[in-house]
Chains A and B, each alone.
Chain A
Amino acid sequence: MNARPWSLSRRLLVALGAATLLTWCVSSIWLYRTALDQSDLLFDAALDQTAHAVLAVVRNEASELTDSNGGVGFELAPIDRAHLDEIVYQVRGPNGGVAYRSPGAPILPLAVAVTRGFSSAHINGQDFRVFTLAADDGTATIHVAQPLARRNALAHSGAVRLLAPGAVLMVMLGFAVVWSVRSTIRPVVRYANVLDERAADAELPVSAIELPAELQPVARAIDGLLARVHEALIRERTLTADAAHELRTPLAALRLQAQVARRSTRYAERAAALDELLDGTDRAARMVDSVLTLARYDACRSGDLEQARVDLSMLANLVAREFQPLTSQQGTDLALAVDGTVVIGDEDALAIALRNLVSNALRYARKEIRIEVEASSGCALLAVRDDGTGFAPEVAERAFDRFFRGPDKSGVSSGTGLGLALVRRIADLHRGSVRIVPGIHGGAGVEMRFPLVPDHGALGSAVLRLGETSSAIS
């Protein structure tokens, strides 16, 4: 992976941070604009009030105003806060001349005398907001004005002051976002740590640790996986331990026979010991083969096997032919009752299973073994039956256990004890099953069942006797 993996917490932080910042910006602009509008209204109200106050004073002094010759004949009381807001005013007499102006007010009239209400003016490079009020009797007209620059500065500083709490809240929100993202992600991190520190053979499910509901399916899936791994591990360990014991015994016997041979001074005794040594070597080799084969299929999962169409009748013919020298030597009749049932699977694995079944049957059969292949009740059946003594109940119970050996014809168990275990494993890998069924004349039978291939074509049923058909086969 060359791209850096995206991080859940980084993604959350960026998304939440951006949303917060955007919200803050929009609300700030909105707030700023509203504050400006509101202070405009307030300032205008102040101009209005001032105008009325000035007019009231002017009425009182009206006589003086009319008598005057345009000079300043009276004093007006200074207006509260006027110095703060720099509100200035002009009083114009009936003749239109500016009868009075407050300190700082421009000399030129601020507006056209007849105008009533708000207007703006540009005098001496200064912008003014002007409110004009005229007395009903026409004796006086009042202009109250405020420099726009001042007004805007005041409105601006007020609005900015309003934004300050928002900024503080924004910072706090930022911290809150970081904290909540971190604490949300924490179970995930902890989960990773738990998985990391976990021993390969720990049995406790990891979903047992406290996890949010969203992570539970993940935890359960991982638990399932871990359980499978654990199972495989146990299986391998058991096989290793059992195999060690099972291999040690033939090796111990080999060593003893070798020692007997070496100590012997008589030819016949030495020859007998060496014969035993050879037999024992074969037995140890068989055991190693079986253990390795089983270990191989133990490590497999269904998907690892080849998934080819396998004609079970072809397979039965093949295996029967392999056994022909042995069966004719023993005088056992190996018969086939097969149809062209096809399964999906691994030909080699299925052949190993069938070989094991036939070789078992050969050890117990009196004179007859039958391999049967048929499709029945939605299953492909592969069965091997013999006419031996059959499974004793206590043997049948444990027949598929690893390293369990039943006594054979001579009462001696000479197998590896892995044959049927391997058959079961191969059946499992093909999503099939295996069970003990009645044999011929009370003998033993083992039947493997596999899922049927939907479009299988029955190529016709035939009972072949190997002796009669061997020429046709070969």
Chain B
Amino acid sequence: MRLLLVEDDVMLGRALKAGLGQDGHATDWVRSAADARTAWIVPTPETVPYEAVIVDLGLPDGSGIDLVRAARARRVKTPVLIATARDRVADRILGLDAGADDYMVKPIDLDELAARLRAIERRANGRVDERRTYGALSIDATAKIVTLRGEKVDLSGREYAVLMALVRRPGGIVSRAQLEESLYGWDTSAESNTVEVYIYNLRRKLGPSTIQNQRGLGYRLVAPALP
């Protein structure tokens, strides 16, 4: 997923970003409410369409709660997960009522955070579980296991990230830029042909017809035929 992390503590931010990267998420990290506003709420041509925002409440220049409220007031619907040291029930209620979708109390466990992000993504796509099936292709996002006609397919982290980006819009076209976004954060230095490399690998592993190239528009996932 393409994530925005709003966390003022350097150590915590670095650790979270690293942990999220391990789970295949591309994370932007900002350290103040003002930066978060610029990156997330105020629309600019460069605004990244984040799929979820992780917000710490105690920011040096304002409260994370106000940030969430401001986003909701501007009809920004990005799912928000609050991650904070404030563990009182009243704080949780305040956070959720401000428009957050989930609330986690520090110390944060990376596996729990990953599960909650999967849940957020599930809800955003209107699904009920983590197992997706597209014809003969089956993906278990919890265990990150991809099977084709019942056989496990070994994918690298980056290949998996590209596949997930395609899977999020099954049948729809995903632009090359969007696929690049999903790779953001991997230290790929985004060479122009990087996406093509991973698409090439995926086609090799999943069958050439599974991913179609729509010239000038992007790529599309097509459900592989069942045997």
**A: which residues have CB within 8 A of B?**
245, 248-257, 259-260, 263-264, 269, 272-273, 276, 279-280, 283, 412, 414
Contact = CB atoms under 8 A, between A and B. Distances in A.
A259 B20 CA distance: 11
Nearest to B109: A259
Contacts of B18: 257, 260, 269, 272-273, 276
Contacts of A248: 85, 106-107
Q: Nearest 9 CB-CB pairs, A to B? A: A256-B15, A253-B11, A252-B107, A253-B12, A252-B106, A257-B15, A260-B18, A259-B110, A255-B107
A253 B108 CA distance: 9
- Residues of B contacting A: mostly: helix
Given A248-B107, A252-B107, A259 B19 contact: yes
Contacts of A276: 11, 14-15, 18
Given A253-B11, A276-B11, A276-B15, A260 B22 contact: yes
5 contacts: A253-B9, A254-B11, A257-B18, A263-B22, A276-B14
A256 B107 contact: yes
Given A252-B107, A256-B108, A269-B18, A414 B10 contact: yes
Contacts of A264: 22
A250 B106 CA distance: 11
Contacts of B10: 412, 414
Nearest to B23: A263
A449 to B, nearest CB: 31
A273 B17 CA distance: 11
A269 B10 CA distance: 18
A260 B11 contact: no
A276 B106 CA distance: 18
B110 A250 contact: no
B148 to A, nearest CB: 23
Given A276-B14, A283-B11, A252 B108 contact: yes
B152 to A, nearest CB: 17
Contact of A249 (B12, B19, B111): B12
B155 to A, nearest CB: 14
A260 B106 CA distance: 16
B82 interface: no
Interface in B18-46: 18-19, 22
Nearest to B87: A248
